[in-house]
Amino acid sequence: MITSEWLYWLIGAFFIAVAVFIITDRTHAKRVGNAAFWGILGLSFFAGTFVVSGAIPAWALGIAVLVMVALAGLGFTGTTSRTRVASVPGAGVGSATGPAEPTAVTTRPSSSTSVLATTSPDERAGFAKRFGNRLFIPALVIPVVAVLVATLGPLVHVGGKPLLAEGSATLTGLGIGSVLAVVVAVLVLRPPRLDTPVREGARLLQAIGWAALLPQMLSTLGIVFTQAGVGSAVGTIIKAVLPDGSLLAAVVVYCLGMALFTVIMGNAFAAFPIMTAAIGWPVLVQGFDGNPAAIFAIGMLAGFCGTLVTPMAANFNLVPAALLEMRDKYGPIKAQIPTAGILLVVNMGVMYLVAF
């Protein structure tokens, strides 16, 4: 029986490789802090297997998370600019007040000297023109393989036993698809070095920074809030003001609550357990006999409308602005507000019409 542990270990190995690349990059101003952050994360993926088996205590992973938070919160991670002294045009020409002094110019470390650098911007533009739409082939491999494995994997039996562990088909398909996508990318693009995929992955991960972990952290936060009784408390308040017997009002409150809690918490996965415990299950499913699959799926889509308009979803909204070097770091959010509003109303209508 194949479980998902191999994928967790593979992900952990990638993060450790990222840490090794960073610690050997002498152009990185914060290489020690960044290497420690990603190295601890990588080791945590391995340690999780032993926590589940009881070989090591769970609090060990808790300490690892706190150390990572300290590294990120105290500024030991991320990239920094360097300052050099350079002469600007005309700087060497004397004036009435004396010779001009060199001007301090802030620059980033040259990518050509970075361990993670593989190609220059001009080279990447040339490759994009050369390969064209073939660049999308590796990306398309992932969803195709993931769907095939998730659909057909549970049907495969060896010696009368299922090949894949129960509940692992989707994650296994995603892992296999990702590995095959890397292989296809190497065959199609033929990079000069076999470690180019890992180096490019590390470079992108560095650009995103700690925000890459927000989805996992925020989804965990939702579970913590639910265990603390936040969902029940919210449900008590909502039921006190919700009109009796009004399905439309219940649908609007559930979808709107999903969006608002997502705005506050930054992730629909964090908002989902709270709003589902408050109104999704007790009111919409049990009270109005709704279809759970349809209600919860559309409810998540309503939550994603909140994702589009919150800076708390930094990995979706602030990171792209940083990667594209936009002048307005809230530019993506401003552009997405109309779409989010329209989709939220549409989700309410769809839920009301098809989920009951």
242-300 tens-digit pLDDT: 888 899 999 999 999 999 999 988 888 888 888 988 889 999 999 999 999 999 999 99
| pLDDT the model gives residue 267 | 81
* C-alpha to C-alpha distance for 23 and 225, rounded to whole angstroms: 37
Residue 352 burial (10 A CB sphere; 0-12, 13-18, 19+): middle
- Tell me the average pLDDT across 199-220: 79
Confidence band for 103, pLDDT divided at 50, 70 and 90: very low
Q: Where are the alpha helices (DSSP H) in 103-213?
A: 121-131, 137-152, 169-189, 196-208
Share of the chain above pLDDT 70, in %: 88
Looking at per-residue pLDDT, the higher value among 207 and 10 belongs to: 10
Look at residue 109 and tell me whether its pLDDT is greater than 70: no
CB 144 within 8 A of CB 219: no
* C-alpha to C-alpha distance for 121 and 312, rounded to whole angstroms: 30
Look at residue 309 and tell me whether its pLDDT is greater than 90: yes
What distance lies between CA 111 and its chain's CA centroid?
25
Which contiguous run of DSSP H or E holds residue 103?
Answer: strand 103-107
Q: Which of 149, 148, 180, 177 is nearest to 163 (CA)?
A: 149
Confidence band for 108, pLDDT divided at 50, 70 and 90: very low
Looking at per-residue pLDDT, the higher value among 89 and 196 belongs to: 196
SS3 105: strand
Taking the CB of residue 284, how many other CB atoms lie within 10 A of it?
A: 26
- Tell me the average pLDDT across 310-336: 83
CB 281 within 8 A of CB 349: no
Confidence band for 88, pLDDT divided at 50, 70 and 90: very low
- Tokens coding 40: 């601890």
Q: Which of 23-32, 113-122, 218-227, 339-348 has the highest mean pLDDT?
A: 339-348
| pLDDT the model gives residue 63 | 94
Residue 83 burial (10 A CB sphere; 0-12, 13-18, 19+): exposed
Look at residue 97 and tell me whether its pLDDT is greater than 50: no
* C-alpha to C-alpha distance for 306 and 256, rounded to whole angstroms: 9
Q: Where are the alpha helices (DSSP H) in the chain?
A: 5-23, 31-53, 59-73, 121-131, 137-152, 169-189, 196-208, 214-227, 230-241, 247-265, 268-275, 292-307, 314-323, 331-354
Range in 37-51, 87-101, 327-341 the model is least confident about: 87-101
| pLDDT the model gives residue 141 | 94
- Tokens coding 221: 């936060």
Range in 89-93, 125-129, 142-146, 168-172 the model is least confident about: 89-93
Q: How many CA atoms lie within 13 A of 59 on its CB side?
A: 0
**pLDDT per residue as tens digits for the range 146-205:** 999 999 988 888 888 888 888 888 899 999 999 999 999 999 888 878 888 888 888 888
| pLDDT the model gives residue 90 | 41
Look at residue 91 and tell me whether its pLDDT is greater than 90: no
